[in-house]
């Protein structure tokens, strides 16, 4: 190496110089004919792909090769691949038999149910999946699917079939709560958008019949079983349409274990339908 005026180094033979990365400068070879000796010129570096870009390209190639190989296996191979690539949603194979307890852990006894038919407290329990809340109701008289000594204990989904509003916005209204609405009888009302259901009338196909929209589907009903020898209460199934937001009442969450406790009584948000 020699030096230029001012102490800057000058390359004697840049044919043997190492490669220079982006953003660096080097001295032109003296006598090369391209530039005057000692003149600084910028050398543009060829972009080098980052390791991430290289890895992503490899991954994409491997994915295409894997998919192509699976497709070559035929219909059965494709189905097996999809089951592996997209695991089935959580859920239950069938409806479990689940004993109902109060929030303090004591069993719900049908003949000694704590909440009268005039109470508006929300008694909520999850069934059959842990993200499917239901209302446990005590009607003033026997109802389709009701159990207990008076066949008045009954349960319905606590998720409105219109747009999925849940407690405290959907709740039970005891007889006479809203004057002559529903002939003065009990009903279920969602204050989000005004849908109402009749817990004493079963819709064709199951569930609480629609009184007023905008809902277009009845409220799913949870089937209860009363053991008269112990007075204990169990949830054993469901009828009517799927719970709102689920393709099936058995799909879309984790199955509950027996027994299941009701939540602490909640106060609803209520207003009479207009």
pLDDT at position 18 is 46
Same domain, 130 and 242: yes
Q: What is the CATH number of the domain that holds 105?
A: 2.102.10.10
Report CA torsion sign: 36, 41, 43, 44: negative
pLDDT of residue 46: 46
Residue 267 lies in a domain: no
CA angle 109, 165, 202 (to 5 degrees): 55
Of 149, 245, 240, nearest in space to 199 by CA: 240
One domain, residues 15 and 102: no
Helix (H) or strand (E) holding 55: helix 51-72
Rounded Cα–Cα distance for residues 115 and 113 (Å): 6
Asked if residue 64 and residue 40 are part of one domain, the reply reads: no
Please spell the DSSP secondary structure of 119-168, one letter per residue: ---B-EEE-SBTT-EEEEEE-SS--TT-BTTTT-EEEEESS-TTT---TT
- The sign of the dihedral angle between the CA atoms of 248, 252, 253, 254 is positive
Please tell me whether residue 176 adopts helix, strand or coil conformation. coil
Residue 93 domain-assigned (yes or no): no
Which regions of the chain are under pLDDT 70? Answer: 1-89
For residue 268, is it within any domain? no
Q: Are residues 245 and 170 in the same domain?
A: yes
Residue 164 lies in a domain: yes
List the domain range (segments joined by +) for residue 80: 51-85
Looking at 29, 64, 85, the residue that finishes a domain is: 85
Residues 121 and 218 in one domain: yes
Q: Nearest CA to 122 among 163, 173, 175, 179? A: 173
pLDDT in tens, 89-116: 689 999 999 999 999 999 999 999 999 9
Q: Give the count of domains, the chain.
A: 3
Say if residue 61 is in the same domain as residue 111: no
Q: What confidence score (pLDDT) does residue 266 get?
A: 95
Claim to verify: residue 114 and residue 189 sit in the same structural domain? yes
What is the per-residue pLDDT for 117?
Answer: 95
- The pLDDT value given to residue 69: 52
Give the burial class of 173: count Cβ atoms within 10 A of its Cβ; 0-12 exposed, 13-18 middle, 19 or more buried: buried
């Amino acid at each position: 190496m020699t030096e230029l005026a001012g102490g800057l180094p000058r390359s004697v033979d840049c044919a043997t110089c190492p490669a220079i990365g982006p953003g660096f400068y080097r001295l032109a070879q003296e006598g090369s004919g391209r530039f005057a000796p000692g003149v600084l010129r910028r050398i543009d570096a060829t972009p080098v792909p980052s390791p991430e870009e290289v890895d992503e390209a490899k991954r994409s190639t491997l994915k295409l090769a894997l998919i192509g190989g699976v497709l070559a296996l035929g219909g059965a191979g494709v189905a097996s691949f999809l089951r592996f690539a997209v695991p089935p949603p959580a859920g239950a194979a069938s409806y479990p038999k689940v004993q109902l307890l109060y929030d303090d852990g004591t069993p719900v006894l049908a003949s000694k149910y704590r909440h009268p038919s005039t109470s508006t407290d929300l008694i909520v329990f999850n069934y059959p999946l842990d993200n499917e809340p239901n209302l446990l109701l005590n009607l003033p008289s026997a109802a389709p699917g009701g159990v207990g000594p008076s066949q008045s204990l009954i349960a319905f989904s606590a998720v409105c079939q219109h747009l999925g509003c849940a407690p405290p916005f959907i709740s039970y209204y005891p007889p006479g709560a809203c004057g002559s609405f529903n002939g003065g009888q009990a009903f279920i009302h969602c204050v989000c958008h005004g849908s109402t259901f009749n817990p004493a009338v079963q819709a064709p196909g199951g569930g609480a019949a629609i009184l007023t929209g905008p809902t277009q589907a009845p409220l799913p009903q949870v089937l209860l079983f009363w053991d008269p020898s112990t007075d204990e209460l169990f949830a054993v199934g469901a009828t009517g349409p799927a719970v709102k937001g689920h393709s099936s009442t058995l799909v879309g969450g984790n199955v509950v274990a027996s027994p299941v406790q009701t939540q602490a009584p909640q106060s609803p948000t209520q207003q009479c339908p207009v």
